[in-house]
A and B are shown apart, each in its own frame.
Chain A
Amino acid sequence: MSFLTPLFLLGAAAVGLPVLFHLIRRTNRERNVFSSLMFLLASPPRLTRRTRIEHLLLLLLRCAVICLLAFGFARPFLKQAMTAPAASTGKRVVLLVDASASMRRANLWSDARDTVDSVLRHAAPGDQISLYTFDRQLHPLFTFDQWRAAPAGERSALLSRKLAETSPSWSSTHLGSALIQAAELLADAAGKAQGSQGRIELITDLQEGSHLEQLQGYEWPKGIEVAIDVLKPLSASNAALQLAADSDDSDAKAAGTVRVRVTNSPGSKREQFKVGWALSDKPVFADKPIDIYVPAGQSRVLAVPIVPAGAWDHILLQGDDEMFDNLVFARPPEAVRLNVMYLGHDTETNPKQALYFLERAFQETRHQKVGVTARRPDELVPVADVQGSCLFVVTAALSQESAKALRDQVVAGKTLLIAPTAPDMQLTLRQLLAVDNLSFEEVRPANYALLSEIDFRHPIFASFADPRFSDFTKIHFWKYSRLNAAGIPGAHVLARFDSGDPALLEVLVGAGRVLILTSSWQPDSSQLALSSKFVPLLYSILESSGAPAPRPAQYRIGDVVPLETLAGTASSPAAVRLPDGSQVRLPAGEKNFSQTDLPGVYTLTTDTLNKSFVVNLDPSESRTATLPVDELERLGVPAFRLAKPGSIEAERKTRFQNAELENRQKLWRWFIAGTLVVLLWESWLAGRTARRLAASANMAPG
């Protein structure tokens, strides 16, 4: 028999009290009234001289009451009952080891290996164990099949060796998806082998940045428990360096800097850091570093001036214990050049004409430079210019050759925006759309026309879908051209005037499309150019025309890099040089590059050019503060801390099990019931004895 609260057994020592009281001369309740106590002193109670114990049975009963109470309060339970079911058939155990970048901290990986070895040593002979590591994905190292296939005596050694061969990656931690996959593995295995239970032994640093969001909607399979061994780093201090989100402003001062964010973990003991450019391969500053003070739990953003020298490719943070997230690779942002071709009679300087506004709508930013090339509609446009443009804007009737050339481009996939400033566009439209019957007549409303029935689901208007931006009623149209949309096959009206006439139509032509704005934005036609909607609308049209999006300043580990963004559509990518110097050849027609496993500078080589891009650590990996295990429980995962034998946690676990067992058995009830029975007996016996004594005292003479 064991006891949950054995200290209460000390209460059994109180069994000596009734005996002692029995031996102490009774302080009888007789009271003597006396004239004066001035000559008397209080007498202390003293041991009586008699050694014979009277009423032995009564004394024994009272002692028994105390003993029974002490035993009851000590919460006794029988251990055999618990150990019996434990010796059943073996469990399926998935060892899930965190191999994310945060495990690169000083002692964590070796601790993880030790923990795996410890689990293997304490495994029951019937257990089946598999080993998986995880970062962004789950990586099988030793499956159940391999375990079963291996000789029984060598399984643990094989598994341990597999883990020794691997090392933490640079990826972020996606604990949620890893747990789900491991649970499904176990659930599948349990489905095959009826009745067997599964357990996931999760060995991780359980950092705050372990993406758990996937667990939110997941219903955890029954019978699978998660034992967590949270690895403790030697030092709680960790500061991280990240590239701050780059702004699109064209500020000259900002243009020459790279903005980085220095974050310091909440439990950090360091506050003074240095940030500066460093040479590749050496953790030494190439220039004078910038001192920065970041208190624990806070972050600071710092602008580091860009140094033109090519050898300096990364920014280093110094003053932190953990080095894994103290490097950030940076390249000055490279602007994407786009060209818009304008075909019309306008001059660039006339503020009453459409071109004037078009040129001013596209502002140059750090990431995008949009050029507007104006051509006369009747002159022949060079092929190179046509091919280099991603959007064509036509405001006047074109020559037949030009119209044909443009139609070819549209069929090939380009976008053409027609915004007629004169009513003589009928022929050009027929040519461009290849439609014979097309009526096109100018309308001048009595007052003005307004836009209505706007299709906000279309990508062009999608950005205005929010009610805050969807008010187009302030844009008045003085004149427009009435177009018979029904006569154009494949025409989709994106917006209509309040009269019901189409305002903006989209006609798909081949792989491209033609957008027809039946009015114009020049001031004598409408107020469109003067409204706040004009610039976003043009950018929406530019984006929908298939222009390459601005390249991000950095990619994160594991991100898929779209090669077209880098190399453009003209050249075909051939190979990528990785930060470690190795080269990855790309198969023909490959659109994406996904082997971004290392932080550093990658170089894409095409037949014509070399483009480099940087890959950095996921910022969430730097949030190294330990999550409470309760967080997993809150998400429905039946998690508990895995206890090392002999450790405090092991004791706590044993105590917990004992408490559960005691709670199930509830032996204390029997002791309390026994106490009550003995008390009743004692009361009856004491009463009887007292009555007898009283009777004998009454019968005594005097």
Chain B
Amino acid sequence: MIAPASSPKLPSSSFIDPKALMSIRNLELRARVVVEGFWSGIHRSPYHGFSAEFTEYRQYTPDDDLRHLDWRVFARTDRFFIKKFEDETNLRCHLLADQSRSMSYGSVGYTKAEYATTLAATLAYFIYLQGDAVGLLTFDEQVREYLPARHRTGHLRHLMLALEKPAAGRATDVGAPLKRIVELVRKRGLMVLISDFLAPLDRLDQNLSALAACGHEVLIIQVLDPAELNFDFKHPAVFEDVESGRTLFIDPGSARKEYLRKMEVHREALRAMCQRLGISWQSLATDHGLDLALFDFLRERMQRRNRAQRFSRVRHMQSKALA
């Protein structure tokens, strides 16, 4: 295999060298290395419960529990309002890891699948350390492994084992696992979908929107090899599709430009879809440090949380003004 030159666009500014990290055979240990130094934080629950922190008022509708009526507001305004509080619960996170054949490609010494597995393990470990429930669903063209989100002793161990199972599938079909997860997970939570998304995006839109409609917070992490991003092969050769086995004679000199254009169009289409559906999207090259990936994840989460807090604050002020 001809190794492409490493991408100049994505310099690795990580504290942990991904290559060195990948040389650690134990997945849990790899996750632990990455997560080291991060302190557990508090995640806001997407569920509105009745706890200490008030979030908003809602107009009373019949069948609402009368216990939650704000009688004071009723006294002042002569209208019924239900008082809502922010439920401070544990995070329920599901990691959806693509283990199709296309993920077995890698030009930097390890494959995309290894990188994605490590990333999933890191996130799982991190979330577990925070005391939140974490679940796993691995898939190729169909769902392979499913572990519901839990936080109990030994669960992380099961999760690591499930992640370490070798992939058997050929093709990628993101649609099937998304449908399945919608059926399986009724409670809202965080869905982290890790895949290369090197497949037509026709039905992805529909499935993602179904997932988002269920109230889940969805985060998409697209894992790509630097060679896939740059296509910096030097010599013409016969290229074999790792999934279908189809071969093509490719002269990179003449094919690169068109390839990059098509790849960019594809990525842009995915990004635009995510934006439209309110889904977070992150693209990671496999030479990108995993600690940085974790950092990006947290930053994304923070931004999202801030957005949510701002939104809830505005709503709170509105309700206060109403009160």
Contacts and interface: CB of A to CB of B under 8 A. Distances in A.
Counting contact residues on chain B (CB < 8 A from A), the size range is 35 or more
A29 B237 CA distance: 7
Given A32-B2, A35-B242, A37-B246, A43 B254 contact: yes
Given A25-B236, A30-B235, A32-B237, A40 B196 contact: no
Interface string A27-50: 111111111111111110110000
Contact of A41 (B228, B233, B255, B263): B255
Sorted nearest first, the 6 A-B pairs with minimum C-beta distance are A43-B251, A35-B105, A39-B262, A30-B237, A36-B198, A35-B102
A146 B196 CA distance: 109
Contact of B255 (A28, A30, A43): A43
Nearest to A46: B251
A591 B237 CA distance: 108
B255 A38 contact: no
12 contacts: A25-B251, A31-B239, A32-B239, A34-B239, A35-B112, A35-B225, A35-B228, A36-B241, A37-B248, A40-B250, A41-B248, A43-B236
B238 A32 contact: yes
Interface in A512-552: none
Interface string B166-208: 0000000000000000000000000000001011100000000
A40 B255 contact: yes
A30 B251 contact: no
B85 interface: no
A42 B227 CA distance: 18
A43 B257 CA distance: 13
A41 B237 contact: no
B236 A33 contact: no
Main secondary structure of the interface of B (DSSP, over half): mixed
Of A30, A33, A34, most B-chain CB atoms within 10 Å: A34
A35 B247 contact: no
Contacts of B237: 28, 30-32
Contacts of B249: 27, 42-43, 45
Interface in B252-288: 254-255, 258-259, 262-263, 266
B1 interface: yes
Contact of A36 (B102, B247, B254, B258): B102
Interface string B213-246: 0000000000001011000010111111111101
A33 B250 contact: no
B238 A30 contact: yes
A40 B228 CA distance: 11
A28 B248 contact: no
A692 to B, nearest CB: 21
Interface in B113-130: none
A160 B199 CA distance: 96
A35 B198 contact: yes
A41 B258 CA distance: 9
Contacts of A42: 248-250
A40 B266 CA distance: 13
B222 to A, nearest CB: 13
Contact of A28 (B105, B200, B236): B236
Contacts of A45: 249
Given A30-B235, A32-B2, A34-B105, A39 B263 contact: yes
Contacts of A25: 236, 251
B266 A39 contact: yes
B247 to A, nearest CB: 7
A693 to B, nearest CB: 16
B287 to A, nearest CB: 15
B236 A40 contact: no
Contact of A27 (B236, B263, B266): B236
Nearest to B238: A31
B240 A32 contact: yes
B248 A30 contact: no
A33 B233 contact: no
Contacts of B241: 34-37
A697 to B, nearest CB: 13
A145 B262 CA distance: 101
Contacts of B255: 40-41, 43
Contacts of A28: 235-237
Contacts of B263: 39
A33 B246 CA distance: 10
Nearest to B100: A35
A459 to B, nearest CB: 101
Contacts of B235: 28, 30
Given A40-B250, A40-B255, A46-B251, A33 B243 contact: no
B5 to A, nearest CB: 13
Nearest to B251: A43
Interface in A285-327: none
A407 B155 CA distance: 156
Contacts of A43: 236, 249-251, 254-255
A43 B103 CA distance: 25
Interface string A42-65: 110110000000000000000000
A3 to B, nearest CB: 41
B194 to A, nearest CB: 15
A25 B250 CA distance: 12
A34 B251 contact: no
Contacts of A29: 238
Nearest to A36: B198
Contacts of B112: 35
B179 to A, nearest CB: 23
A640 B182 CA distance: 96
Contacts of B247: 31
Of A27, A29, A31, A39, most B-chain CB atoms within 10 Å: A39
A320 to B, nearest CB: 76
B268 to A, nearest CB: 13
Contacts of B242: 33-36
Contact of B240 (A27, A31, A38, A41): A31
B243 A36 contact: yes
Given A34-B240, A35-B198, A43-B236, 8 more contacts: A27-B249, A32-B238, A32-B250, A34-B227, A34-B239, A35-B241, A37-B239, A40-B239
B228 A30 contact: no
Nearest to B266: A39
A46 B251 CA distance: 10
B248 A32 contact: no
Contact of A39 (B225, B240, B259): B259
Contacts of B262: 38-39
B103 to A, nearest CB: 8
A40 B254 contact: no
A40 B259 contact: yes
A38 B250 CA distance: 13
